């Protein structure tokens, strides 16, 4: 089971997607604590998510931990799962309102980063951490 989770192909180019996804989520997670009214609990309250006092810090913590795991390439597939869930909830909670009020193209424009993070996370779930990852080193040591 352990080897299935960390199994990865020796493709070196995966590191580019890991850096993109990992750095964005790490940064966003930190900002949820630095600017809680704008990006954390306050934002979650504004968009109507339940228990924002819990989910603001929880999501921020998950983004930090999973972002760091993806940057290091340790348990990459496992770390991608919560990030996929976060992005699906973010798109559903925020972009559906934009779609209803402002239309398809405004929604697409406003969600470009969301789609990039969702698809990047799905890519990492499928491919794993790549050649330059802790996962690869653990599997091949």
Alpha-carbon distance of 123 to 60, in angstroms, equals 22
Residue 8 backbone zone (phi > 0: left; psi -120 to 50: alpha; other: beta): beta
Looking at the chain, list the stretches that DSSP marks H as alpha helix, in order from N- to C-terminal side: 2-6, 14-34, 36-39, 41-46, 52-72, 76-90, 96-102, 104-110, 112-127, 134-139
Judge contact between 73 and 93, C-beta under 8 A: no
* Residue 57 pLDDT > 90: yes
Q: Read off the pTM.
A: 0.92
Burial class (CB in 10 A: 0-12, 13-18, 19+), 70: buried
The pLDDT tens digits for 1-44 are 667 777 787 788 999 999 999 999 999 999 999 999 999 999 99
Say what the pLDDT of residue 1 is. Answer: 63
Q: Which residue has the tokens 């597939």?
A: 77
Say what the pLDDT of residue 2 is. Answer: 65
The pair of three-digit structure tokens given for residue 106, joined into one six-digit string: 């405004």
Query: What Cα–Cα distance (Å) separates residue 111 from each residue in 65, 125, 133?
Result: 23, 21, 29
The pLDDT tens digits for 103-122 are 999 999 999 999 999 999 99
């Amino acid at each position: 089971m352990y080897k299935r989770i960390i199994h990865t192909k020796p493709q070196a180019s995966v590191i580019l997607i890991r850096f993109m996804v990992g750095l964005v989520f790490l940064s966003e997670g930190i900002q949820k604590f630095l600017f809680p009214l704008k990006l954390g609990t306050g934002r979650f309250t504004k968009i109507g998510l339940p228990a924002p006092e819990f989910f603001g810090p929880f999501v921020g913590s998950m983004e930090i931990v999973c972002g760091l795991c993806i940057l290091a390439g340790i348990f990459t597939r496992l770390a991608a799962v919560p990030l996929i869930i976060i992005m699906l909830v973010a798109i559903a909670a925020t972009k559906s309102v934009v779609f209803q009020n402002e239309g398809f193209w405004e929604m697409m424009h406003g969600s470009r980063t969301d789609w990039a993070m969702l698809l990047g996370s799905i890519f990492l779930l499928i491919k794993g951490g790549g050649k330059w990852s802790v996962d690869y080193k653990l599997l091949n040591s």
